[in-house]
Amino acid sequence: MLDGDVVRARLSPGLGYSREDRDANVRRLGFISELLSRNGVIAVVAAISPYRATRDEVKSRIPDFVEIFVECPIDVLASRDVKGLYKRAMAGEVANFTGVSDPYEAPLDAAVVVHSDCESVDESVEKIWAELVRRGLIS
């Protein structure tokens, strides 16, 4: 399990949140995932990857890449935000905030779309699991 924030803190401590820095972080996550998958390890990456072109670039290098899009309206995300970052971003206090002051380009062809505002965790997991079984990646 590769957490985007943990990888950023441990392997990319100098990166900020500009488009270039976000793309660099996603490419690094992709490289680690590619190495793991080439060696038979299932890599699950949990990261905000706001730019479609960079996601597609990484996706093209990993044969069994399964894109899961966790969709949720901004107001619901803000209501769940224990750090108060959405509120600060909406007040203009946080720059380059994905979905508020910086774009999020939704995938055009995600393998699974999870609607976290109206599905239970169990329902979402079942959708993901079913897709992985359908692809023959797990049994």
The predicted structure's pLDDT at residue 55: 96
Q: Which tens digit of pLDDT belongs to each residue from 91-114?
A: 999 889 999 999 999 999 999 999
Contact criterion met (CB below 8 Å) for 30 and 61: yes
Q: 12: pLDDT confidence band, cut at 50, 70 and 90?
A: confident
* Of 127, 138, 5, 20, nearest in space to 71 by CA: 127
The predicted structure's pLDDT at residue 86: 92
Domains of the chain from N-terminus onward: 1-65 (3.40.50.300), 66-139 (3.40.50.300)
Average pLDDT score over the chain: 94
Residues 3, 34: Cα–Cα separation, whole Å: 15
Q: Which tens digit of pLDDT belongs to each residue from 66-85?
A: 999 999 999 999 999 999 98
Residues 6+ apart with CB under 8 A from 73: 117
Region at 87 (left for phi over 0; alpha for psi -120 to 50; beta for the rest): alpha
Q: Which tens digit of pLDDT belongs to each residue from 114-136?
A: 999 999 999 999 999 999 999 99
Question: What residues are labeled active site?
Answer: 49
* Of 16, 81, 84, 24, nearest in space to 49 by CA: 24
Q: Give strand pairing partners of 102.
A: 98
Contact criterion met (CB below 8 Å) for 21 and 13: no
